[in-house]
Amino acid sequence: MLSEGRYRLGSRRSPAAGLSGAWALLPIGATEAHGPHLPLDTDVCIAEALADRVAARLDAEGSAGVVLPPLNYGITEFARGFPGTLSVDASLVQGLVVGLGRAVRRQGAAGLILVNAHFEPAELGALFGAAAQLEADGLRVVYPNFASRRGSHAFADLCPLDGHAGRYETSLVLAAAPERVVGHQRLSRVEADLAAGIARGASSFEEAGGEQGYFGDPAGASAALGVALYERLTALVVGGIS
């Protein structure tokens, strides 16, 4: 288990941590419903846990990585029918990431790593747009898209990316903050395919067949699987730097 905040900007352990020469890691999540068993900030929890692991791997390999405070809000229109979901405009997400990228560049960072755990299509588009703007400015940006066919293939033998709040996300939260998962073992499998629903024009979880705000098989999740997934995801992010 990583020491809480060890690699985070302004942490108690290193309150004066700077970005000069280091990779700046930006955890990106959202505030949205994740079924009856996961917290609203599930994506933030996953992104921060992964960013900490990436920073630790970089440290072990002789590089420096500093984890920025997370982006807690995103585009969450698919979950708009569920209490607690808060969505912001795509232009705001893209503009904020661009602004942060330019700020870390002024601080002398080696580059920006977008550690994103929120896969709504409009969110992905905003982040790709931000990455393109920043790269045009001369900042190196690493943005592994775990939701892409290539990205998800890296861990497909462990667990498919089963939509939203299923086995994949539940396992990651169980590995990072098990006390925040409640009642997942009692949930039935949802066979509806979120990606297929989006492809046929669904614009909400309900329209895609996720009436309770989750897809896949959260009951099949485990902390051990979450640990294995973090290992694969960490390797995927670090591999994008070289």
Residue 48 forms part of a structural domain? yes
Supply the pLDDT for residue 150. 83
Give the H/E segment covering residue 47. helix 42-60
CATH of the domain at 92: 3.40.50.10310
Residue 18 forms part of a structural domain? no
Identify the CA nearest to 125 among candidates 148, 102, 107. Answer: 148
pLDDT, average across residues 24-28: 97
Residue 11 forms part of a structural domain? no
Percentage, residues of the chain above pLDDT 90: 86
What are the tokens at 96?
């904020």
Q: What's the CA gap between 237 and 227, in Å, rounded?
A: 15
Residue 13 scores a pLDDT above 50: no
- How many structural domains compose the chain? 1
Residue 116 forms part of a structural domain? yes
pLDDT, average across residues 30-43: 98
Chain mean pLDDT for the chain: 93
Identify the CA nearest to 174 among candidates 216, 210, 218, 232. Answer: 218
Residue 2 forms part of a structural domain? no
Q: Per-residue confidence at 1, pLDDT binned at 50, 70, 90?
A: very low
Supply the pLDDT for residue 16. 55
Supply the pLDDT for residue 152. 86
Residue 5 forms part of a structural domain? no
Burial 206-239 (b: 16+ CB within 10 A, else e): bbbbbebbbbbbbbbbebebbebbbebbbebbbe
Q: Domain range holding 205?
A: 23-239
Residue 10 forms part of a structural domain? no
Supply the pLDDT for residue 11. 52
Q: Per-residue confidence at 162, pLDDT binned at 50, 70, 90?
A: very high
Q: What's the CA gap between 144 and 84, in Å, rounded?
A: 28
Q: What's the CA gap between 96 and 99, in Å, rounded?
A: 5
pLDDT, average across residues 27-41: 98
Task: Encode pLDDT of 54-109 as tens digits.
Answer: 999 999 999 999 999 999 999 999 999 999 999 999 999 999 999 999 999 999 99
Question: Torsion angle of alpha carbons 90, 93, 96, 102, nearest 10°?
Answer: -90
Identify the CA nearest to 28 among candidates 178, 144, 177. Answer: 144
Supply the pLDDT for residue 106. 95
Q: Which class for 199: exposed (0-12), middle (13-18), buried (19 or more C-beta within 10 A)? A: exposed
Residue 2 scores a pLDDT above 50: no
Residue 16 forms part of a structural domain? no
